[in-house]
Structure 1
Amino acid sequence: MKKASYLIVLILSLFPGHALVSQTTVQERVVTLRSQLTVEEKIDILCAKAPSVPRLNIPSYD
């Protein structure tokens, strides 16, 4: 029973680090996409109905 408790604690301690890596990846992706968008594309995204940006694989939305 004691070994099982230690094993569970060990396994659970591995998960929080994964969330930080994932968050950093999302932030890096946002910065990269933002730098690749043209001024016209950035303005279009501000509208309620935005067209897609196929070259960056961004879908359209309402």
Structure 2
Amino acid sequence: MATVAVIARYLGQAPIELTTLECPVRLSDADSGRARIELQQYLQGSKAANLLRMIPPDGHMVQG
């Protein structure tokens, strides 16, 4: 379980963020310096979202 935020962030505009608490995820290494995040459910959020932030229970944030 993790906290996952779907965010639309554009220059000159206030960010639009929708956070889902206790979201089932699978985090794995994709390559050097890259992570793969698999979500077990569809997340609602802005259609213009361009950023995903995931914080697992250990507090290590992954975003991109």
Normalising TM by the smaller chain, what interval?
under 0.3
Q: Which has the higher contact order (CA 8 A, sep 6+)?
A: 2
Structure holding more strand per residue: 2
Larger Rg over CA atoms: 1
Q: TM-score, normalised by structure 1?
A: 0.24
The TM-score, its normalising length taken from structure 2, stands at 0.24
Point out the structure with the larger helix share. 1
